[in-house]
Structure 1
Amino acid sequence: MSVEADTGRLKTEADEPGWEVDPDDEWGVAVIATVGRQLRLRREAVGMRAADFAKAVGYGEDLVYKVEGGKRIPREEYLDKADDVLNAGGLISATWEDVKKVRYPKKVRELGKLEAQAVEIGVYECNIIAGLLQTPEHARAVIGAAQPPYSPDDVDRMVAARLARQSVFDRDPAPSIHFVLEEAPLRRQVGGTMVWRQQLERLLEVGRLNSVTLQVMPTNTEPHPGLDGRIELLKFPDGTAVARADGLFNGRPTTDPKQLRIIELQYGIIRAQALPPRESLTFIEQLLGET
């Protein structure tokens, strides 16, 4: 791809709506302002003008000023390109861990809180076992595999937060929860054979709950709308809903009725294409029997 074509593509993506900083989100404003200031100071430290930097990373100069001024949330690829251009040794790329936490609107950022209020939860996972289903050992192995690595304290905090979300299964009355998991992550022995077996046993335990439906999407199947990544759909007692899909609407949570219908359509197709619940549990039992 030519530089001109690549530049045009990136600039179009960056200017899509939904990446502005919410002025009422104090934490989000602080995080994005700090990241923007770091970018500007590093650029100035190497003696690079904003125009030259913009050309080097493949974005418009106006967008560069917005990011450095804390007015625009940078995408992950922007930070990665900036890291390379400024020879930051991964320090700029690492800021994505903070940026991605504030890229969602304040009112829908903490999905754990929303899950605790939902009467219906639908989750499709493409590459991992859903966090609501992970054992402590599996969660620790997955979180511990991140690069750059988290500190031991951060790992402990993140594992605890993930496990706390699983209190949703203990609610009375229980919400209706539906999972669709891809076959490949079920076969990946994360954490070793024993941890993997315990994880499969946990899936069987949860999958047999009256409030839970668990389905497996076989690897040997036709293409489906979930190939772009994760989908989560939450419905609440007052009839409202929020959903997000990695491949739609910048991957950000949405409450827009038209966008919700599209995500629901995709999730419905995925459910229809996956193995039925009973066959799915049998499939997991067979995986356990292979060890």
Structure 2
Amino acid sequence: MPARRAVTGRSQEPRKRFAEELRSLRAERDLPLRKLGEAVGWDWSLFSKMENGETLGGPEVVQALDQYYGTPGLLLTLWELAMGDPTQFKERYQRYMRLESEAVSLWHYAVGALPGLLQTKRYAQALLSAGGMNGKELTTQVEARIGRRELLSGKNAPPFRSILSETVLRTPLTDTDAWREQLEYLLKMSEQRKITIQVVPHSVGPHALTNTHVMFMRTTTGPAVAWVETGYSGELVEEAAAVERLQLRYDLVRDLSLSPAGSRKFIMDMLEATSCEPSI
């Protein structure tokens, strides 16, 4: 059994503590990052980012490091504490926003709500209000979300594909006028040359991303990364093998989706049905 490691003088902030331990373990062995990558079987640049606190990595790579260093469970425990640190979601989300703004291509899957890049102001207000946001914070967040839509306009806009679960279109706003406005905006955006919108109908049954809201982003400086989100938190996935697994799932779902033309007709039918509903 490895000797118990002293914690005196080490950071009490979970993320910093995790990075410190990674640096310390490698320094004890006088091991270059490239050699560590070769020994563990992961890209050495990921270890550099983890040691600098830029990313936490995923559970698979942390378990591999625990095994290599002979510290069973130590690094994984520190990683779990860092993941649970309430300050981390804000930092991860800010980094996601930065990567999204720098992306040269974007592709996305929505489980139950439209992506921010396709939301109208009233849709964003309703969604954020439902999550408990109000007052000045709500106003600020809605404006910020609407501002993000500028990313999809102009000659330098990145190609963007959004696959929507039928659930997204079967969950209307209580304000019928606001919902019609949102559907009309979707149709308008689907006409843009660099934007592709597809719908996965309920009839396909369970599929590879049934419970996974994900945005993939590719920048000029590196491989694609993914942002995976629930209603309560989000995680930036950067490890190449994990991103590839998500991409394979995405491809399977795309194959099950209606064509862009078929999806547009689906949205038009939804709009027509909404327009025919009597006003209350």
Q: TM-score range by the shorter chain?
A: 0.5 to 0.7
Cα distance between partner residues in 2 of 1:129 and 1:211 = 18
1:124-158 superposed Cα distances (whole Å, 9 cap, x missing partner): 01011111101000100110111xx2231010111
Which of 243, 246, 259 is equivalent to 1:276? 259
**Equivalent runs, 1:1-291 vs 2, <5 Å:** 20-22=14-16, 72-74=82-84, 100-102=89-91, 104=92, 109-146=94-131, 149-246=132-229, 252-291=235-274
Identity %: 26
Cα distance between partner residues in 2 of 1:100 and 1:120 = 24
Q: 1:24 to 1:157 in 2, by over 3 A?
A: farther
Cα distance between partner residues in 2 of 1:72 and 1:229 = 22
Q: Which residue of 1 aligns with 2:59?
A: none
Q: Is the 8 A contact 2:110 2:213 kept in 1?
A: yes
TM-score when normalising by structure 2: 0.65
What's the CA shift for 1:237? 2.1
What's the CA shift for 1:251? 5.5
What's the CA shift for 1:20? 4.6
Cα distance between partner residues in 1 of 2:155 and 2:14 = 39
How many residues are treated as equivalent by the alignment?
204
1:211-257 superposed Cα distances (whole Å, 9 cap, x missing partner): 0000011112132111122011001124422113359xx96212222
What's the CA shift for 1:21? 1.4
Q: 1:173 to 1:142 in 2, by over 3 A?
A: same
Aligned-partner SS, 1:116:
helix
Cα distance between partner residues in 2 of 1:130 and 1:72 = 27
1:185-221 superposed Cα distances (whole Å, 9 cap, x missing partner): 2122214110100000010011110000000111121
1:250-289 superposed Cα distances (whole Å, 9 cap, x missing partner): 9621222211211111111111111110000000001111
Aligned-partner SS, 1:224:
coil
Question: Which fold has the larger relative contact order, with Cα–Cα distance below 8 Å and residues 6 or more apart in sequence?
Answer: 2
Cα distance between partner residues in 2 of 1:22 and 1:254 = 19
Cα distance between partner residues in 2 of 1:244 and 1:222 = 24
Q: Is the 8 A contact 2:96 2:227 kept in 1?
A: no
**Counterpart AA for 2:268:** E
**Counterpart AA for 2:197:** L
What's the CA shift for 1:74? 2.6
Cα distance between partner residues in 2 of 1:125 and 1:134 = 12
Structure 1, unmatched stretches of 5+, are: 1-18, 26-61, 76-95
Q: 1:197 to 1:267 in 2, by over 3 A?
A: same
**Counterpart AA for 1:263:** L
Q: Is the 8 A contact 1:137 1:191 kept in 2?
A: no
What's the CA shift for 1:109? 3.5
Aligned-pair RMSD on alpha carbons?
A: 3.0
Aligned-partner SS, 2:89:
helix
What's the CA shift for 1:23? 6.1
**Counterpart AA for 2:123:** H
Cα distance between partner residues in 2 of 1:216 and 1:143 = 23
Cα distance between partner residues in 1 of 2:122 and 2:213 = 22
TM-score when normalising by structure 1: 0.63
Cα distance between partner residues in 2 of 1:194 and 1:167 = 24
Aligned-partner SS, 1:226:
coil
